[in-house]
Structures are given as C-alpha cells and as structure tokens.
Amino acid sequence: MLTIGTAGHIDHGKSSLVKALTSIDPDRLPEEKERGMTIDLGFAWMPLPSGDTVGIVDVPGHKQFIHNVIPGLFGIDAVLLVVAADDGWMPQTEEHLRILDLLGIQHGIIVINKIDLAGDPEWVSLVEKDIISHLSGTSLEGSPVARVSTRSGAGIEELKKTIADLAAKLAPRQEIGKPRLPIDRVFVIKGSGVVVTGTLSQGTFSTGKDAFIIPSGTAAHIRGLESYKHMVQTAAPGSRVAVNLTGVKREEVARGDIVAGSRGYTPSSRTVDINVQLLASAGASLKSMSEVLVYLETRELLARVALMGSKTIKPGETSLAQLRFSEDVAVFTGERFIIRQQSPAVTIGGGVVLDPLASKFKLGEIPARKVLLERRLSLKLEDLISAEIEKNRFSETGSLLAASLFSSSEIAAKVKQLANQKKLVQAGPYSIDIRVWEEACGKLLSTITKEMASDTLKHGVPQAVLQEGLGFPKEVFETLVLNMISSGKIAREEELLTLPQNKPVLSKQQEALKAQVLGLFAKNPSSPPNLKELSAQLPSSQPVVHYMIKQGELVELPDGILLEAKQFQAVKEQITGRLKENGKITIQEINQLFGFSRKYSVPLLTHLDRIGITRREGDARVAGKKLIQGQK
C-alpha cells in the first residue's frame, strides 16, 4: 500500500488536482466549500493498473494552517509538490519543501499546474527551471516533473501513469509486527461508536483484535476496519484506515494519539534525545532551553530544547540535544520531527529521534552521552543495539529497542550475531555489554581475592553479597559465575564463592586459640560451651570456631550448641546401638547415658532427626529413615 501527500502554496490547485486524479473532492468541511480554501486535511484514493490503491492526503496551502499540514505529511511515502505555472515558486511552496526535506520524504513528483493560464510554453519552462533550482540539495532533487491543467484535463492521464510508475518503484511498507496508527481524525457514527482515521504503519490491524490508545494506555477493541470505502478484515501497513473502536469514549481519543496493538513497543517518556537541525532560513540562532512547538506524527506539543555541549546553534547547524516535554510522548528511534517557533509562527528546523527513553542529563554527563548518541546517528541496528546496551549496562533482549523500526526477530538475530562475534554477552533473557561483562569479571575476582586475603580462615564470600555489589539480575550473575568457574578463576562451595586454590590456614595465634577451645570441650564433655559462651570466654575465637566447624573438628547443633566431632561420633554410635537393641530411646535415657541436660539433649536429637538417624514418635525417638536403610 502507498500513501502520497500534496504540498504547495495556497491556490495552486492541490485539491483540484486530487479531484482530477480521483473524482473525489478532498474538501469535506462546509467552510472549505464556502471559502474555496482547504483548511484541514482531506483524503482520497485512486486505483492503479496493478490493482493496488494509492491513498492521497491533501493538505492546506495557507500559512495559517501549517499546524494541519505537518500531520498530513507524516507517514506519506511520496509527495505531489504542486506549483502554479502562473504564480511560480511561493513562500508556502518553500516552507512545505523544507518540511518534506526535514521529514526525509525522498520520493515525489513536481506538478506544474494551471499551464493553461500561463499561456506561453517558454514561460512554463522558465518556471520549471526555477523549481529545479529550488530543489537542488533537497530530498526531492531529481524528481520527475509533470505539467497539467486541472481545468482542461491536460496532462492528467500522463500524471496518473507517472504515479503508477513511482508506486511500482517504491518498496512496500515494512511489516515488523508493531502496528501503529497516528490519529488525524476522530468522530462518532451513530450506532457504531468512535471512529479514528490515520495512515497505518509498521504492522497490520485486524478486526476483533485488542488495541491501545497511546500515550494514555486506554484499552480498546477493533470492531471494524474500513480502507478506501471498503470494509476489510485486515488493514496493511501504508494504507489509509478508518478504525471503529469499542471500549473508549469520544473524549478519551484525540488527534495526535496513537492506536497501537500493544503497549510493549510504545513506551512513553518526557525526555527524548535527538539530533536537531536548524534551517539555514531560520531567522535567528536557537538558544538552549528555548521553548518550541514540536510536531511528532500527528501530534503538536510544547517542549524545551536542551542543547548538549553548546548554548546556541546557528541557522544551518545541527546539534545533539534533548526535547523535554511536560507530558508523555510515545516516539520511536529514527522518528522524524519538526520544530516551529511560536511567535512569529514559522518552521525553524527538525531532526530525528535517537533515544526515545532518555533521562535528563547533567553537565558532567554530556561527553559520555554524546558518544553514545553519535553512535546512534547511523540508525543501523548493530550501532543502536550496542549503544542501548552500553547505556543500561545490560538489557532484556525481548524488550531491547522495542520502540524502533526493527522487528523483534531482526533484533534477536542481530544480538545472537554480536554475541557470536564476542561484542556482547547473552545471559538468559539478558544481553550485556562486553566491556561491562569484562569489568564485572575483574571486579568479582578482585573482591573475592581481597576478602580471602583479609581473613586466612575465610572459606568464601556469600554469593548474595557479590551479586548486590555488581548490581546484576540473578540470571546474569549466575551466568557470570558459571563462566568464571569453568575457566578455573573461581570455585563455589555451597552459597560461597572462593578461589580454587584457597585453603584456610590457622596462624600461630589461632592455633593457640584452637587448643584453648579444645581444652574447654575436654574439661566439660557433658556441658561444653556453646557459640555464645565461647565468644564470651575467648573473645577472638569466633573465626577459629567457624574454621573448626568447617573442617569437621566441631559439630554445630541447633541453638548454637557445639560438640567436639569425636564426642558427637561416639554419642551417635551409642544412640544407634541402643535403638538397635530396644527400638527406641528417650531424652531421659540420653541424659543418663551422657550426663547431658535438656539444653544439650534436645538440640542433639533435633539434629539426629534432621540427618535421618532418629525419628520422633511420641516422647521417644525411634530409628530414622537413614538408619533403617543402613540396616537392610
């Protein structure tokens, strides 16, 4: 599907040209018919010999209605730039051309209208030569020229053929699974409800599907679709579409809103990083933080332009900058925009969106921000991916560059390719910048090494502490750890990360403390000190005690109770023997056997229950699962 627009000065015959091509009068408002002047957007269509249909958007020519012109020119594939032969190049012809150039409209046909009023063919040739000089250096340079008269019909059939030839050369609109309809009209049909119109892009709409009004996020349902006066089940990208919506009220929808198939690829923001161009014809320099009118698709908003690295830009210059809005906008990377000053009302420039989800920058952040934005200027997928991931350190691959002109499958394939080229790392659902990954590997190893060196008895560093220090999601951290373990740089012991060669060693002072600890256990075998008591009696013994537990020299029971390993083994064997003889044992019997009080016997039996030696049955203990299996 192809949509073309008209452009040109007032009274140069744009609307009459549309009517001559299509037999449809694009002036739909009573006031337009009374005044003989286009005020708002008009719409028509014409069939092509190929069987396709070309949609046509007719725009006003008066400078007073530029705010209606710009929304009409967004989303078109090509333009009919109309110049009257008896009038020649005029101010609004120039302004419309500058807008087309800023929007990147690269295909068009120059239509010299009213050749019957010019009289002399040589005059028409001079007008054509003048037009060609004005087009030099613009996106429409080299466009074909057609001479017509909408009054006599001269040249109209030839123009239809030129339009058909142009349509055949243009690539079809991309279907990237992100349908987006910038609304240019909203009205209500009795018995049907709310209807919105616009030029569909980036995907298809189908009846019966859900939709969302962006940026409000209001949910709606597509009840019906009409394209060029035909009801359709599915509307293709590039076509003019009327969408009958249910679930929304008239006051919940306005020109400038977007109908989208999902909120996922239309995130909203109030700060947008851009590359802005000030027209050479702009009357003055643009100062940083100036307030301007911004046109994005069919929406008009006020915003401040925060320049990066300069206080002003002069006419003809470009600059990286940021648009700061007072309300949410849903734009995409690569989207074009137009800026106009408010008074006097004139188009002063435009540009392209580089980061639709930017954050406000501080002065000290400008150099780093500019580096990433300069990489985005190419709008190539690889550059956009690397800049986006570097900006965030890591990103969920599924939502990476959601607000862009690339499909999710294109993005996923490019991410995989970059990972194979070692330019980024994939970790579960995330993609990580390669430099961030390498820095994280170095930081993790350095932290573990430092922690282990600070305490020779340390068995490792808790994973949770290390993950928090790196600021990684669990999936990213786990991938990083497994990678470093496989390369032999670190090792894992339960929930601790350590160095592969790490072997805790006691110092001479700690060896002396160990001897003191063992002495206390030997002195009081039936009432050995617990963790708390050991800390009180030997204040610096805690690391040594934990080392002894880890080395299997002490056994830690619930409630901080400790037993020397050889004593615990002897107690366990005696309890096992008693269970084999009698089938059960009570706390009282254990206290009598070993001289324990309930302070020790209860934690002891709780521990034996946990390891399957015993099992509680009433007030006694019987053989546990592990012990029973050992007897078979």
Q: Assess whether pLDDT exceeds 80 at residue 320.
A: yes
Distance in angstroms (rounded) separating the CA atoms of residues 19 and 35: 17
Ordered by start, the domain boundaries in the chain are 2-169, 180-260, 269-371, 378-505, 513-631
pLDDT at 38 (0 to 100): 83
Closest CA to 599 of 529, 542, 545, 520: 529
pLDDT of 225 > 80? The answer is yes
The pLDDT tens digits of the residues spanning 117-135 come to: 987 889 999 999 999 999 9
Helix (H) or strand (E) holding 82: strand 78-84
Rounded Cα gap, residues 435 and 257, in angstroms: 40
23-32, 56-65, 451-460: range with highest mean pLDDT: 56-65
Class of domain 180-260: mainly beta
> pLDDT tier at 361 (50, 70, 90 boundaries)?
very high
pLDDT at 177: 94
The matching CATH number, chosen from 3.40.50.1860, 2.120.10.30, 1.10.10.10, 2.40.30.10, for 269-371 is: 2.40.30.10
**Beta strand pairing call for 620-623 and 614-617:** antiparallel
Q: Within 13 Å of residue 606, how many CA atoms lie on the same side as its CB? A: 12
Instruction: Give the confidence band of 630 by pLDDT, cuts at 50, 70, 90.
Output: low
On average, the pLDDT of the chain sits at: 93
Interacting residues of 157 by C-beta distance below 8 A, sequence separation 6+: none
Average pLDDT on 177-205 reads 94
| 3-state SS track over 470-532 | HCCCHHHHHHHHHHHHHCCCCEEECCEEECCCCCCCCCHHHHHHHHHHHHHHHHCCCCCCCHH
Which of the pair, 1 or 320, is modelled with greater confidence? 320
DSSP state of 393: S
Kindly state the tokens that stand for 1. 């599907």
pLDDT of residue 173: 85
- Residue 341 reports pLDDT greater than 90: yes
Tokens 């003019």 identify what position? 240
The answer to whether residue 559 scores a pLDDT higher than 70 is yes
Selection from 208, 215, 210 nearest residue 183 by Cα: 215
Mean pLDDT across the stretch 151-170? 95
- Provide mean pLDDT across the span 326-339: 96
Share of the chain above pLDDT 90, in %: 81
Residues 452-507 have pLDDT tens digits of 888 777 788 999 999 999 999 999 999 999 999 999 999 998 899 999 887 777 87
Has residue 632 got a pLDDT over 60? no
Asked if residue 290 has pLDDT above 90, the reply is: yes
pLDDT at residue 631 in the model: 63
- The CATH T-level fold of domain 378-505 is Arc Repressor Mutant, subunit A (1.10.10)
Phi-psi category of 363—alpha, beta or left, where left has phi over 0 and alpha has psi -120 to 50?
A: alpha
**79 SS3 class:** strand
pTM for the model stands at 0.81
For residue 268, pLDDT over 80 is answered with yes
Q: Does domain 513-631 have CATH number 3.90.440.10?
A: no
Q: Evaluate whether 2-169 and 180-260 have a shared fold.
A: no
Mean pLDDT of 340-365: 94
Higher pLDDT, 331 or 38: 331
Homologous superfamily of domain range 2-169? P-loop containing nucleotide triphosphate hydrolases (3.40.50.300)
Determine the Cα–Cα distance for residues 419 and 423; give it in Å rounded to an integer. 6
- Residue 367: the pLDDT is 95
90: three-class secondary structure by DSSP: coil
Confidence of residue 590 (pLDDT cuts 50, 70, 90): very high
Please, which pLDDT band fits residue 28 given cuts at 50, 70 and 90? confident
Whether residue 426 is predicted with pLDDT greater than 70 in this model: the reply is yes
* CA 223 to mean position of chain CA atoms: 29
Predicted confidence (pLDDT) at residue 36 exceeds the cutoff of 80: no
Residue 419 has pLDDT above 90, yes or no: yes
**429 compared with 626, residue with greater pLDDT:** 429
